[in-house]
Amino acid sequence: MTQKFNPKTDIPLIAILRGIEPKDALRVGHILIDSGFKAIEVPLNSPNALRSIKLMVEEFGNQYLVGAGTVTSPELAKQVIATGAKLIVTPNYNERVIKLGIEAGCQVYPGVITPTEAFSALAAGASGIKLFPVTMLGTSGVKALKSVLPKETLCFAVGGINPERDSMKPYLEVGIDGFGLGASLYSPDLSDEEIRNNAQMFIKSFNEASSQ
């Protein structure tokens, strides 16, 4: 499988499709990809999440990064890996989940909030870290954490990010590399047009925030 998503060179935005159902997965996936997204995460607490992931892996997996969020145990990690997914995102630090994902060729982004968790995740081989909820840290906390992490550490901010330049720019200025985007991008009650508008606005806002 050719992995085309590189957070250092592609737009580093991960679409979080919490609550999506399998019947909507491919349609919404196409909307996001057509808008410029290259990474899609389906949280495992969504209805029949593994089925949605499997469908999107089969449709998009050769060119885009598709996988699961809310992967909280090694057993769940194994189920995700069995779908062919190449992205594992967690809300917490679990060494075994990280190692299983990396061994399977996945990009793994565990949720952390403290230096201890961050360094433990990196020592376990994580591809990068997910600062969640980033609102607990704020920009000053992110800056302090980034000051002690290895410079090459990929850091994604998740929680409370809106499709506006001023929502992203302060975090980019203190060293955040990318964002995981949830309810401000997608919820099951949104129309296709609303999802498309949100996706395009996030891409536009990120490009503006990162170029200034």
Known catalytic membership, residue 41? yes
Active-site residue flag, 130: yes
The single residue of 38, 41, 54, 146 carrying the catalytic annotation is: 41
Which of 54, 86, 130, 146 is labelled catalytic? Answer: 130
End-to-end CA distance of the chain: 35
Quick one: tokens of 82? 């069995």
The residues that are catalytic are 41, 130
